[in-house]
Amino acid sequence: MQVLWGCRRLPDLSGAKVPEIAEFEREVRLALSRAKGAFDLVQVPMPGALDVHGASSLNRFGMAIDLDACDGCGKCILACMQENNIPLSSKGERDAGRFMHWIEMHGGAPAMCFHCGNAPCEKVCPTGAASHTPDGLSTMMYKRCTGSRFCGANCPVGARKFNYVDSVKEGLARKFNPEVPLRSKGVMEKCSLCLQRLQDHKHTQMATRPGVEWRGSGLKTACSEACPKNAIIFGNWLDQDSPLVQEAKHRNLYVPREIANLDPSVVYMRGRR
C-alpha cells in the first residue's frame, strides 16, 4: 500500500545529510553568475480584481519589483529558499542549467511566478494541482501533482521548477521552515507568494478578531522582507492603503511581453509619473 500510494508518503529525514547554509549561499552566487537574459517589458495598468467567477472583491495579493532600486544582490533568492525550504539542485541539474530557485535573476532583476490572473499553467494541469485562490494566488497542491510537467511547458516565462531528483534522499534539502512541507521527487513547484504566511495571518485574525475583514495588511513575503533596498513590495492590489498601491500609484508598471495579456499580479516598477 505504501508502494501504491507512495505519493502520499512523508519525506523521511532520518539519516539524510542536511546541507549547511553556506552551500545555499554558494549556489545563489552561482545562479547569479548565470543570470538569464532580461525580459522584454511592456507597460500595463495597475492590476484590479480578478475577472473570474467567485473571485474575492476585497483581496488580490501581488508584488511590485522596483527596477530602479534593485541592484540584483540576490538576497531575496536566499531568503526565499529559507522560507520555503527550497532544496539545492544536484550537479547534473546545474549542468543542465536548472536551479530550484523560485526567484531567478533575469537581466539583473528578480523574477518569480507572476501569478497570472488568467494563468495558462492552471488550464493545462490535468489533475487540478495548479489552481487559483480567489485572492489572486496561483497555488500548487503538491500532493495532487502527478508530474506531467504540462504546466511547466505552458508557462511563458518558465517560472515553474520540477523536482527531478529526490532532494531529501540526496541530502540537498533542509527544512529551515517547519511550516512548509518538503516536496517529493517528481513534483512541480514554484513561487507560492508565501502562501503559508497569508494563511497563518488570515486564520489568526479571523480567530481572534472575528467580524473584522481580512485585508492582509502588515504582511510581507520573505523576499520583500529580505530586500535591503526595499525594492520588492508586497501588498493587496485592492486595498488603497496597502504599501503596494501607495507606491505603485505614481510609478510606471511593466510586465514581460509574453504574459502582458494574462493579467499578472506581480509587476515591475520603473520611473515615476
Partner 1 sequence: MKYLMAGLLALLCGFFLADFLFRQQASEVKTPGNIPFDHALHGDSIGLDCSHCHTGVTYQAHAYLPSKTDCMDCHRLPLTENPGIEKLDSALSRAEEFPWVHKRVLPEHVVFHHGLHFAAGVQCSDCHGSTEKIQKNRYGGERFTMQSCLDCHSGKTFEGRGFKKAAIHCGACHR
Partner 2 sequence: MYRILVYIGVALLLLGAFAFGVSLWEGPTAWHTDVRTFWGIPISLFVLWIGLAHAGTLISAIFLALGYPLGRRTSMVAELSTLCSLAVAALFPLVHLGIIENFYMVVPFLDARGNFSNLRSPLVWDFCCISVYGLVSLLFFATHLFSEKFPDLKKLIRPMAWLLFPLVLWVHTIVSLDFAVTFVPQWRGAFFPLYFIAGAIYSGLALVIILLTAEHCRVRVLEKLMLGLSWFMAFFWLWEFLLKGSFSFEVVFLGAVVPQLMWLRVIRENAFGRLLVAFSVLVSLGLERYILVTPSEYNAAEYFSWTDLGLVSFSLGLFTTLFFVFRAKFSSLLEGEDVVMGEIVLQQDESDKESEKVTLPEKNDFSILRLPLLIGVLVTLLYVVWAVSVENTNLAPLSVVNVAPLCLPLLVLVACFTLCARPLWGISGKRVKLVCAVLAGILGCLAGAFWAGGSSDVSSGVVSVQEVDSPKTVEFIWSSRCASCHGQDGKFNEKFVREFYPLPQKLTPVRLDTLGEDSLVKVILDGRVNMNPYRGRVSEDEARGLVRYMRHLAGEGE
Partner 3 sequence: MDAILNALCCLMALGTSMFLWHRPVSIFKETGILALSLVVFGLFSYLTVDLSEPSLEYMPFRMLALCICFSTTSLTSHKTRYLVLSQVLWLWVEFFGGLTFVYHGLDMPWTRIVAIGAGAFGGAFLSHISREMEFLLMVYWIAVWMFF
Which residues are at the interface with partner 2 (CB under 8 A)?
A: 1, 3-10, 13, 52-55, 92-93, 96-98, 120, 122-128, 131-134, 143-150, 152-156, 158, 162-165, 178, 184-188, 204, 208, 258
* Residue whose CB is less far from partner 3, 12 or 51: 51
Part in contact with partner 1 (CB under 8 A); list of ranges 134-142, 146-154, 216-224, 262-270: 134-142
The yes or no reply on residue 257 touching partner 3 (CB under 8 A) is: no
The least distance separating partner 2 from the CB of residue 249, rounded to whole angstroms, comes to: 28
The interface region with partner 3, picked from 95-103, 118-126, 144-152, 170-178 by CB under 8 A, is 118-126
Task: Work out how close the CB of 133 gets to partner 1 at its nearest, in angstroms, rounded to a whole number.
Answer: 4
Q: How far is CA 234 from the centre of its chain?
A: 12
Q: Which of 92, 108, 126, 128 binds partner 1 (CB under 8 A)?
A: 128
**Positions 151 through 180 that interact with partner 1 (CB under 8 A):** 179-180
In degrees, rounded to 5, the angle at the alpha carbon of residue 112 between the alpha carbons of residues 105 and 272 is 80
Residue 208's φ and ψ, nearest 5 degrees, are: -90, -30
| Contact pattern from residue 194 through residue 223 relative to partner 1, giving x for each residue in contact according to CB under 8 A and a dash for the rest | -xx--xx--xx-xxx-x-------------
Residue 14 DSSP class: T
Q: Which three cell numbers stand for residue 54?
A: 467567485
Distance CA 32, CA 30 (A): 5
Which residues lie closer than 8 Å to 84 by C-beta, 6 or more apart? 102, 177, 180, 192, 194, 222
Q: Which does 72 bind (CB under 5 to 8 A by kind): partner 2, partner 3, partner 1, none?
A: none
Select from 118, 177, 205, 252 the one that contacts partner 3 (CB under 8 A). 118
261 binds, among partner 1, partner 3, partner 2, none (CB under 5 to 8 A by kind): partner 3
CB 108 within 8 A of CB 36: no
* CA-closest candidate to residue 45, choices 273, 272, 253, 264: 253
Asked if 123 touches partner 3 (CB under 8 A), the answer is yes
Cell 518558465: give the residue: 158
**Residue 236: all three cell numbers together:** 493587496
Give alpha helix (H) positions in the chain: 21-33, 75-84, 91-95, 120-124, 150-154, 195-208, 222-226, 243-249
The H or E element spanning position 130 is: strand 130-132
Q: Which of 18, 23, 261, 271 binds partner 3 (CB under 8 A)?
A: 261
Residue with cell 493587496: 236
Q: Which residues form the interface with partner 3 (CB under 8 A)?
A: 118, 120, 123, 261-262
Q: Which residues form the interface with partner 1 (CB under 8 A)?
A: 1, 4-5, 8, 10, 128-129, 131-134, 137, 139, 141-144, 179-181, 192, 195-196, 199-200, 203-204, 206-208, 210
